Structure formats: C-alpha cells, structure tokens
C-alpha cells in the first residue's frame, strides 16, 4: 500500500511578514508607492473636514495606491478592491495593513475626479525629470472598450418608444395569461403535483412580471427626460437607457455598447501625456479637445508657451477630416494623418493587392504541416 506524508491544515502558523519587503524595486507596485509618496495631496486633503471633530480618515495616498494597484490587476469595482486589500499581500503592503471598505473606496473614487487630473500632471513632471518625455513626436490613437451597459437598451428615441409600447403589450399579455392559468383547475392540479420538484410556478411568474415592470418604469423615466443624442455628423445616433453617455460602437468584432478611449503618448518611451474617454464611435470629433489637453499638459511639463511648436503629431485615418487638418494648421501644429484613400495611391499596397495570397484554413490539420527531414521537425503553415 502507498505511503504518503501527513498533511494537516488545522495547525496554526506563526509567520513574520515584513510588508515593506513585499514591494520589489522595479515592479509596478513599487513605482506606484514611490511616485504617490512624492505627490502633492493638497487637492485631496482639502475635502476632509475632521481636524477638530470626527474619526480619522484613511490617507488619500494609501487609497490611491491600492486603487491603482487593483486597477492594474483588473479589479475595477469597489467591492473587488476591498477584497484585494484583505487577501493580497502586495495590496496589504501598499495599504500599510489597512482594509478600507467598499463604500469608502467608492466615495473616494467618485468624489476626486478633478484631483486625479492634477495628480496625472504631477506624474508627468516626474517623468520629465527622468528624461522620459522628449516632446518631439506624439502618437494619437483610440481603443474601443465595452461599458457596463447592455446593447438591448440602446436605440434612437423613437426606437426606444416603440420598445416601450411592445414591453407594455408583453406585460399585459403575461398578466392575462397568468390569470387564465390560475383559474384553470387542471393546471393548478399539475402545479401542485410538481411543486416539490419544480418549485412554485406562480411565484416565478410573479417575479417575472415584477422584473419586467421595473424595466418598464426605468424606460419610461428615461424617455421623459431624454433628448435625441447627436453624433459627430449632427445626425441622431443611438443612446442607452442604462448609460446614456456611452455609445453604440462598431468594432472589428461587431458592435459594442461602450466608450472610445483616446490617448496621446510621447513616441520616445510611450508615456501617455493625456487621455479621454468619449461616448462616440468616430474618433475625429475628439481631435481639437485632445490637442487642447496635449498643449496644456506639455506647457506644465516644459514651462514653454508653445510646447508643440517643433512637435509632430501622428494619427490614423480615424482622425482624418478637413476640419481637423484646418484646426491643426490654425494652431501651427504639424500633423501627419493619412486619408482614407492613401492605400490606393501607395505602390506597396498596390503590389500586395495584385499578389495572389493563398488563404490559410481556419483550422490546420495534419496535411497542412510539412516535415523537414534535415531538421527533423514539422513546419507550421502559420
């Protein structure tokens, strides 16, 4: 018979943990800890009014560190961040063994949007002192990400009104159907028979109607105050009942309900100089705003009146419009943005188009792999 080592998880452990040693130099969490400790927190501290009365509050530096660390690990909700502070030893080190609850974290995030912008500029100043920002060339690009809102509740105002009427009829039909079922004695006998195994069907129906009525109330309240949402072209675009600021955006993998995150980064070390989330699919409409923000942040970094005078701003075809080019010329900023037809004029792409490229199968089989006798290996067609 096999013999195994004894294992017992009921035994307590006496372990010495030095929290400062959990932050390894050069890691993201060490950098966050280093930078936040050198930031001016006056914008955060002025919101506290407990110097004479009230309990002590968590320091803004501490909350900022655990929030940024949690974001970097994909934990975005306040409840997730609360759990990270309890379970993750690195988060414990950043929080100095504190465990802020989710309501404290949520209130801090929602109430300090302006202070975060000031902190962002301070980080850029630190990057500038380390010669990480050259200001010679900037890259402008967008990334489309889904929001916490369903596409089901998206549409133009008239489309949402039509949806409301359909929902009204559906709820009415369900209620009538449930009344008829409740009056039918043969159905009641069947329900009583299977009640133990299937649960109470009547209660389930009532919960369904209650849930639909709640959705109906939310939709009606939205339509009472909602106005048509205009896109970049000036025409009405789809809005969302749950998150009106988000947009119905087309991506390479289909449509999503979300935002377009626009960033401008310095080409030398890819340091992000400014960023903005817009509720619009087309990126072109954000171009003037991004130039304003880029100019403002670079003024703070370089202390020059015209920080973009000798700079080049690169953008993809999504930012190409005549208005944007005129805006850049008006500001005397050199930009390089290809138009939508540039591939047709480029000889390289013309040659590629004429080449007959064999389409690879979506799924490779044994026949697709070639055997090299000298190397004694199979070559993958990809």
pLDDT tens for 10-55 read 888 787 888 888 889 989 999 999 988 888 888 888 888 877 787 8
Q: Where are the beta strands (DSSP E) in 227-295?
A: 229-230, 236-237, 239-240, 247-251, 254-266, 272-278
CA angle 109, 111, 117 (to 5 degrees): 75
Alpha-carbon distance 94 to 87, whole Å?
13
Confidence band of 343 (pLDDT split at 50, 70, 90): confident
Calculate the alpha carbon distances from 259 to 149, 249, 289, 290, 308 in Å.
11, 8, 16, 16, 28
Q: Are strands 312-315 and 137-146 parallel, antiparallel or unpaired?
A: parallel
Task: For residue 237, give the 3-state DSSP assignment.
Answer: strand
Task: Give pLDDT tens digits for 194-249.
Answer: 555 445 666 777 788 888 888 888 888 888 888 888 877 778 888 888 888 888 88
Distances (CA, A) of 231 to 23, 109, 189, 248: 46, 29, 57, 11
Mean pLDDT, range 340-351, rounded to an integer:
78
pTM of the model: 0.69
Residue 190 has pLDDT above 60, yes or no: no
Tokens 């970094």, residue located = 301
């Amino acid at each position: 018979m096999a013999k195994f080592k004894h294992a017992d998880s009921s035994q307590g452990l006496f372990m010495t943990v030095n929290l400062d040693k959990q932050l390894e130099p050069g890691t993201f969490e060490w950098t966050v800890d280093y930078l936040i400790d050198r930031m001016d927190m006056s914008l955060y501290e002025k919101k506290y009014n407990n110097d004479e009365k009230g309990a002590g509050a968590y320091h803004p530096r501490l909350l900022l560190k655990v929030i940024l660390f949690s974001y970097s690990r994909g934990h975005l909700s306040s409840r997730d961040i609360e759990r990270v502070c309890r379970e993750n030893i690195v988060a414990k080190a950043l929080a100095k063994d504190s465990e802020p609850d989710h309501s404290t974290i949520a209130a801090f995030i929602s109430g300090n949007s302006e202070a975060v912008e000031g902190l962002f500029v301070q980080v850029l100043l630190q990057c500038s002192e380390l010669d990480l920002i050259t200001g010679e060339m900037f890259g402008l690009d967008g990334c489309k990400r889904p929001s916490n809102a369903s596409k089901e509740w998206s549409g133009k105002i008239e489309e949402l009104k039509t949806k409301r009427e359909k929902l009204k009829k559906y709820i009415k039909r369900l209620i009538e159907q449930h009344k008829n079922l409740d009056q039918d004695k043969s159905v009641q006998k069947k329900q009583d028979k299977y009640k133990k195994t299937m649960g109470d069907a009547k209660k389930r129906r009532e919960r369904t109607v209650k849930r639909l009525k709640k959705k109906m109330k939310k939709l009606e309240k939205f339509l009472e105050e909602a106005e048509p949402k205009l896109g970049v072209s000036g025409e009405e675009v789809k809005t969302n009942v749950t998150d009106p600021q988000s947009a119905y955006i087309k991506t390479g993998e289909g449509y999503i309900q979300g935002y377009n995150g626009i960033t401008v980064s310095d080409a030398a070390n890819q340091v992000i100089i400014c960023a903005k989330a817009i509720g619009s699919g087309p990126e072109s409409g954000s171009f003037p705003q991004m130039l304003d923000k880029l100019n403002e942040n670079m003024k703070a970094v370089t202390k020059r009146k015209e920080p973009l005078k000798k700079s080049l701003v690169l953008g993809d075809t999504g930012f190409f419009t005549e208005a944007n080019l005129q805006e850049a010329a008006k500001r005397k900023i050199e930009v390089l943005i290809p138009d939508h037809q540039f591939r047709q004029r480029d000889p390289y792409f013309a040659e590629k188009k004429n080449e007959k490229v064999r389409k690879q199968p979506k799924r490779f089989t044994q026949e697709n792999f070639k055997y090299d006798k000298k190397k004694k290996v199979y070559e993958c067609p990809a």
